[in-house]
Amino acid sequence: MRLYVTPASPWVRRVRVAILELGIADRFEFVQTKWPHSWGTQTVSMPADFTQATPVMRIPALVTDDVTLTDSHAICDYLNGELGGYRLLAREGAARWKALAAMSIANGIIEAQVARRAELLRTGADRSDDFIAKMRDRQMRCYAALEEQHLPSFGSVFDLAQITTAVACGYDEWRYGPDWRAAAPKLAAWYDDVAKRPSLAATAPAETPQH
Ligand SMILES: N[C@@H](CCC(=O)N[C@@H](CS)C(=O)NCC(=O)O)C(=O)O
């Protein structure tokens, strides 16, 4: 299986952490992608194998013998169900919906982080400070909600909800600094603990190579 990646992407990271948590990394070829900073506002040229694999032209994208999946949600579903025996997300029932409720909030943070990053890559009058502030507000609100509504019931399994939450925290810390910690100090303490897991340590964010 071929997985298109870059270490800067939190969407890629949640997939890579899930793969490591499941202990199935040897089944994947990881293809590093390169992106110019203009990705935020322009269609950029990418190698033919990538554009053939994904008309969406975003990462992560997973190519298997049977199916090509072009977003992290579908890929995590595939890893969990087809390769992971539902160890990272319950197949059905209350536990599934509880995890999806937390994951939706963490995904909301990541969407805001990436949109904010794209906006910050604009220059001059094109950049909207209002939009950047709106994304930041969403991030902070979501951290507070995760701390209040979901942290108390995080279980012993480092599941997809916890993985996605930790990836959101890690991206904020890397890209925007410790600002988020004030919105959710108990979540920050939880994050400091789980950040030591080998799956998170091995996937620390780093800048994407440019072309
Ligand atoms: N919903 C998608 C979002 C993927 C996404 O936005 N990936 C970013 C990198 S963090 C990307 O490839 N951006 C390039 C672009 O939008 O042109 C997922 O969950 O995989």
Same domain, residue pair 132 and 170: yes
Percent of the chain with pLDDT over 70: 100
Q: Domain end: 83, 110, 134, which one? A: 83
3-class secondary structure per residue, 19-50? HHHHCCHHHCEEEECCCCHHHHCCCCCCCHHH
**Is the predicted pLDDT of residue 191 greater than 90, yes or no?**
yes
- Check if 3 has its Cβ closer than 6 Å to any atom of ligand 1: no
Same domain, residue pair 78 and 101: no
Is pTM beyond 0.85 here? yes
Q: How many Å is the maximal CA-CA distance in the chain?
A: 50
Task: For residue range 74-102, list pLDDT tens digits in order.
Answer: 999 999 999 999 999 999 999 999 999 99
Minimum-distance ligand 1 atom for the alpha carbon of 107: 19
Number of domains comprising the chain: 2
Domain range enclosing 58: 2-83
- Check if 33 has its Cβ closer than 6 Å to any atom of ligand 1: no
Minimum-distance ligand 1 atom for the alpha carbon of 43: 17
Same domain, residue pair 58 and 112: no
CA of 171 to the centre of ligand 1 (A): 14
3-state DSSP call for residue 5?
A: strand
Task: For residue range 22-58, list pLDDT tens digits in order.
Answer: 999 999 999 999 999 999 999 999 999 999 999 999 9
Q: What CATH number has the domain bearing residue 156?
A: 1.20.1050.10
